[in-house]
Amino acid sequence: MSDTSIIDGPVRILFLSRDPAHVTAQLDGRALDAEQAGPLRDDISTDEITPVPILTHFDQALGRYPYTGFQAEGKRPVGIDAVRLSGINVVVAGKRYGKGSSREHSPMAEKSAGVRLVIAESFERIYRQNADNIGLYTSTDMGLVARLLRGEAIGVDEIVAGRDALAAAVVKAGGLLAFGQAHLRQTAPLDAPEDGAAPPRTLFEKIVRRHLLRTQVTSTDPAVGDGAFVRADWRFVHEYYTGMASHMLHARFGRPLRLVDADRIVVFEDHTSYVEDSPNHVRAGIVPNVWAMCQAQRDFVRDYGLRQHQTLTEAQAALDTGVNVAGISHAMMAEHYALPGQVVAGTDSHTPHSGALGCVAFGVGTTDMANAFVTGAVRLTMPASLRVELEGALPAGITAKDVVLHLLALPEIRAGAGVGKVFEFTGPAVAAMSIDERATLTNMTAELGGLTGIVAPDAETARFLRERRGVDAVIEPWMRSDPGAVYALELRVDCAALEPLVAAPGDPGNGMALSSLAVRPKVDIAYGGSCTAGKREDFDHYHEVLAWAVGRGLRIPEGVTLFLQYGTTAVRDYCVSRGYDRIFDAMGARILQPSCGACANCGPGASTEPSQVTVSAINRNFPGRSGPGSVWLASPPTVVASALAGELVSYAELKARYAR
């Protein structure tokens, strides 16, 4: 590729301003400079770039929709086709652009609308890697804006300056599939044994080195910031990505495809179980599109004989035992597949869920997964690690969710110190946690901005695998970080000092102690579920609070709806076996079968009106993420206590109100 200008014709810039009037003016044809546009929006999520209803498209139709969920001062100034018809080819934004989901639909929508370059002060890892993979240029050089406005030509060499060699090569090749076709046909395990002179390494580094692939374009000893390819023990995908992956692979390579290690690919139908009962999907009139998307996945599974878990109501016997198993993909990976020391790659930003078992689990986009299907190689930029020392013991009623909300509110994390990093959780409080609680920590690494989260496996890991899965796993001596391993940052949390936390609407980083909130918002919807809060121990909390309420004759007040959604069938069966379902029914909770749901605005429990207030145990509350209303994030006990009170309260506060 020659280093000619990356933009053909006149430059049209869209500054994603905090002022919606400035955004509207630009789309109407007015050219602004950086000063006129005013302060840029930070923390623009992929939910805002491409809201959930748009994800049923996986071709050029995406170009009609970029930024249709973008909010500024509570308004949505970008309509359908607005970017495409305006001729915008450069977009400029603030910090942490592309937060949230691993959906490749976002950069694909931008590119399909005519955008050639996105400039931001910083990017989230998955978004930027997805952009690289499809040939959408990105840059953190804000000085390019003035140059473009002066009419200067910007070449691809300038765009990739400062990027790691692999990222630069992928961008210059025009995307990952073209790069993989040229360079990844012959890969092999590195198989480089450690010698006595090896430097101290983190557990993450040890696992990655055991899975490195030897290629012509990557180092055999990658340093932080270097690109690499690894062999994944498991690759998984769900229905919002499979159709797009199938479309792009067949378009490039024809039929049939040769999938590498197809028996190590797992396919999930987990985001569409309640689509016909989803206000978002019904209102948008896209239920037929969703079923077409699901059928595209089923066709791919059929054509290549892949292992699949379908929705609960339709699932076939997915295990040899004939038991009907279903649930949220990354929760299912921890319950059925992932093991200590393995590498797991999935098309979901919450893939790090399985890091609770002591494996390296991280999310990738559609093109990354498509490339991994046909080459067996998963792209990775070697990250630095953060060590999170959870000191002391958690007080009664304080959960891992409170810990994560505390971490998210730290100035270092708010400033982006965790972006692209590995979060290694350790310390006495972690050692005392169950795997379910550790999974909350690693799962929400996505919100912390990290590549993944990991907890060194121990006796609790072995117990979980033995009792939950019937697996006698050996925790090998190498499965821990070495003394002297290098960390970019160490964070310490005095867990004994923690109290119930909530995160105010708009961003998971808006954390605060609930006791500091003088005016308590009234609650319309309380939702307990999702991958983060649909596990057995989460349901122990839901049951504890509701059983306490039953004993005092309390009821969910009129005007409040409590939804409880299981993360997997194993969680559902556990609750039924312990009689929890009887308490849930007595309190009038609406019980939902295992699936993704309100968290991703794809099921009951999402708001339907802007005026509605939700308290939710999910992991993110970006604008529009769970409907048009506002969402407060909280721990499982706080969610149910708030449902009972009709306003935000902790379980301890609720009990104090009814002390006898």
In the structure, what pLDDT confidence band is assigned to residue 313 with cuts at 50, 70 and 90?
Answer: low
Q: Are 618 and 599 in contact (CB under 8 A)?
A: yes
Amino acid making up residue 404: V
The DSSP string of 171-205 is HHHTSHHHHHHHH-SS-EE------TTPPP--HHH
Report the distance separating Cα 455 and Cα 439, nearest Å. 9
The DSSP string of 325-386 is --B-HHHHHHHHT--TT-EEEESSTTGGGGGGGTSEEEE--HHHHHHHHHH--EEEEPPPEE
More confident of the two residues 51 and 314: 51
List strands edge to edge, sheet with 307-309.
307-309, 265-268, 234-238, 343-346, 360-363
Q: Are 62 and 108 in contact (CB under 8 A)?
A: yes
- Report whether the peptide linkage leading into residue 256 is cis, meaning its omega lies within 30 degrees of zero: yes
Amino acid making up residue 522: K
Other C-beta atoms within 10 Å of 569: how many?
A: 21
In the structure, what pLDDT confidence band is assigned to residue 192 with cuts at 50, 70 and 90?
Answer: low
Interval 510-568: pLDDT, tens: 999 999 999 999 999 999 999 899 999 999 999 999 999 999 999 999 999 999 999 99
Q: Give the mean model confidence (pLDDT) for residues 153-168.
A: 93
Report the distance separating Cα 641 and Cα 660, nearest Å. 18
Q: Which residues pair with 501 in a beta bridge?
A: 513
pLDDT at position 324 is: 63
More confident of the two residues 103 and 522: 522
In the structure, what pLDDT confidence band is assigned to residue 193 with cuts at 50, 70 and 90?
Answer: low
Interval 567-593: pLDDT, tens: 999 999 999 999 999 999 999 999 998
* Listed range (169-183, 201-215, 547-561) with the worst mean pLDDT: 169-183
Q: What is the average pLDDT score of the chain?
A: 92
pLDDT at position 320 is: 35
Q: Give the mean model confidence (pLDDT) for residues 615-641.
A: 93
Residue 312 has pLDDT above 90, yes or no: no
Q: Give the mean model confidence (pLDDT) for residues 588-617.
A: 89
Interval 234-259: pLDDT, tens: 999 999 899 989 988 999 999 999 99
Interval 84-101: pLDDT, tens: 999 999 999 999 999 988
Map tokens 């579920």 to a residue: 529
Q: Which residues pair with 528 in a beta bridge?
A: 564
Residue 446 has pLDDT above 70, yes or no: yes
In the structure, what pLDDT confidence band is assigned to residue 53 with cuts at 50, 70 and 90?
Answer: confident
- Report whether the peptide linkage leading into residue 222 is cis, meaning its omega lies within 30 degrees of zero: no
In the structure, what pLDDT confidence band is assigned to residue 660 with cuts at 50, 70 and 90?
Answer: low
In the structure, what pLDDT confidence band is assigned to residue 285 with cuts at 50, 70 and 90?
Answer: confident
Query: Which domains are present in the chain?
Result: 13-162 (3.20.19), 381-497 (3.40.1060.10), 502-658 (3.30.499.10)
